[in-house]
Chain A
Amino acid sequence: MTWTQLLIILAKIVVIFLFALGMVPLLVWAERKLVGHFQQRIGPHRVGPDGILQGIADGLKLFLKQDIIPARADKLLYVLAPMLSLVPALMVLGVIPFGPVATIGGRHVELYLANPNVAVLYVLALGSVGVYGVVLAGWSSNNKYSLLGACRSAAQMVSYEVPLGLSLITPLMIVGSLSLVDIVQWQQDHTWLALPGLLAFVVFMVCGVAETNRAPFDLPEAEQELIAGYHTEYSSFKFAMFMMAEYAHMISVSAIAVTVFLGGWLGPWLPPVVWFLIKLSALLFLFIWLRATFPRLRYDWLMKLGWLRLLPLALVSIFLTAVGMAVLGGWVRT
């Protein structure tokens, strides 16, 4: 690896960080503003024009607050947990293709940090690591609400991870590659994978909302029963890191959905990156819309939806795809 290559990699990392750290406060503001309007309120409007700097103000405030480690907490795990939440959520962004190869200053630069041939597995693996952050936070705080929230959260996240993984099998079967760039290129030659894999797309989106612990699947942090769930005891920037992890997770789930099912950077007229961002914003809006619309599920319904509805649906989707490939691919001769 030459020095220029290393410099390009470092520049990409900086861009990814700026993207993530810029998107999070923006998303916080967008969510509060939109939910406000959904509820006939104005939402934040004091900090900056139309309150757009609200997220940054919140972050700054949390940064300056007192950092409390409860006396009976397990100190090491208590400090480790927010990092275990945030770091994997940021690392997922490394494999997202924001666009194809671009020419910047006469040099061909791919608009993604890395294109490993196991990108889909990498994403799922990092998603699983996120569970550790939640469980360790709940357990190490030595608070009953936190422990309850962590147990719920762990059960929910592992339950929905199964159909989430299985729903990704359908596009993988069709494309025949686990590389996200290959998947987008296949869609360039054929069609968006949401069309042949509509069922898988729906299952993926529902599981994605559950994986990120967002409403209507936000039982781990049900304010009315669990105060805040696994991060009840967290204050100051550690709390902010859990929030950032949640929003970064939302961004990465949406980005994966856009890449795998909605054609990634593909689109007419506008530059590829713009198309990617438009699709990403549309899915993020869907997340907020869902939160403003649906009431929280009851816990046994949540588990039933995951294991008894979505898991069979994901298997049915795989089966239908297999049949379709066998017929269309001419593997069965009648």
Chain B
Amino acid sequence: MARELVANYYALGLLGLAALAFAVLSLVLSAMVGPHQPESEKLDPYESGMWPIGDARGPFPVKFYVVAMLFMLFALEATFLFPWAAVLKDRLPEWPGLGLYGLVEMGIFLAILVVGYLCIWRRGAFDWQQAEPPFDGAQGGPTRRRRVTPSGGRLRPQVEGPPSRQPTDPTLQSPDSHLGSGRSTSL
């Protein structure tokens, strides 16, 4: 029995080695076969064809750390559930499972966890909108920007209207009418 179990892991280890060998070999072969003409433009990070600005490794939203921490908590909980689920039932007459005792015990454990879950829900850990600036619609994107003067008369709406009303040279247009996003003005 024990031998068979160990043989399983030998087999899986061999599969892992084979997969690794395949990955390394194909990468090395491909690098040898392909052409090599490095240029400075080619080696720059791709930013939609513009010159790259600054370094990518800046700060990023702390929200992701919250998700990672929550994952740790719940993954730990799941880790407790797996062995529990495996021994819950009576497998054989001489090998009884946890039965009702196990069910009640896990029920208490999960109840405590659910209290914590509800608590972080109420505290807004799952609210992604909070940390973000208001959605474009709130600031008024170019299509919705129709300011009303105190007298009630409408100003010229800053919408990309028919071409005849707009200056023909695109560089003469107001900057946000052709950039097409309200957020670009706030930068």
List residues of A whose CB falls within 8 A of some B CB.
1, 5, 9-10, 12-13, 16-17, 62-72, 79, 82-83, 86-87, 90-91, 93-95, 113-117, 120-122, 139, 141-148, 151, 154-155, 158-159, 161-162, 165-166, 169, 172-178, 227, 232-233, 236-238, 241, 299-300, 303-304, 307-308, 311, 315, 318-319, 322, 325-326, 329, 331-332
Among B64-72, B144-152, B154-162, B165-173, which stretch is in contact with chain A? B64-72
CB distance from A98 to the nearest CB of B (A): 14
* Extra 10 A-B pairs, beta carbons < 8 Å, given A176-B87, A241-B27: A63-B26, A83-B23, A121-B82, A154-B64, A165-B78, A236-B30, A237-B26, A237-B27, A237-B31, A325-B88
**Tally of contacts, chain A with chain B, CB under 8 A:** 214
Residue B86 is within 8 A (CB to CB) of chain A in the complex: yes
- Please measure, in the bound complex, the distance between the C-alpha atom of A66 and the C-alpha atom of B33, giving whole angstroms: 8
Question: Contact flags (1/0) for B67-107 with A, using CB distance below 8 Å?
Answer: 11011001100100110011111010000010110010011
Question: Contact flags (1/0) for B1-31 with A, using CB distance below 8 Å?
Answer: 0000101111110111011101110110111
- Please measure, in the bound complex, the distance between the C-alpha atom of A63 and the C-alpha atom of B10, giving whole angstroms: 31
Pair A165/B75 contact, Cβ less than 8 Å: yes
Residue B60 is within 8 A (CB to CB) of chain A in the complex: yes
Pair A144/B47 contact, Cβ less than 8 Å: yes
Pair A64/B33 contact, Cβ less than 8 Å: yes
Given A64-B33, A91-B16, A176-B88: A9 touches B11 (CB 8 Å cut-off): yes
- Please measure, in the bound complex, the distance between the C-alpha atom of A93 and the C-alpha atom of B18, giving whole angstroms: 13
Given A87-B19, A142-B55, A303-B67: A12 touches B11 (CB 8 Å cut-off): yes
CB distance from B46 to the nearest CB of A (A): 6
Pair B7/A5 contact, Cβ less than 8 Å: yes
Pair A162/B75 contact, Cβ less than 8 Å: yes
Given A237-B26, A237-B27: A172 touches B86 (CB 8 Å cut-off): yes
CB distance from A135 to the nearest CB of B (A): 10
Pair B5/A117 contact, Cβ less than 8 Å: yes
Pair A63/B33 contact, Cβ less than 8 Å: yes
- Name the CB-closest residue of A to B55: A142
Given A151-B60, A176-B97: A318 touches B128 (CB 8 Å cut-off): no
Residue B42 is within 8 A (CB to CB) of chain A in the complex: yes
CB distance from A222 to the nearest CB of B (A): 14
User: Ordered nearest first, which 3 A-B pairs have the shortest CB separation?
Assistant: A300-B128, A237-B30, A176-B89
For residues 115 through 169 of chain B, which have their beta carbon under 8 Å from a beta carbon of chain A? 117, 121, 126-129, 132
Pair B71/A159 contact, Cβ less than 8 Å: yes
Interchain CB contact (< 8 A) of A322 among B74, B107, B128 = B107
CB distance from A12 to the nearest CB of B (A): 7
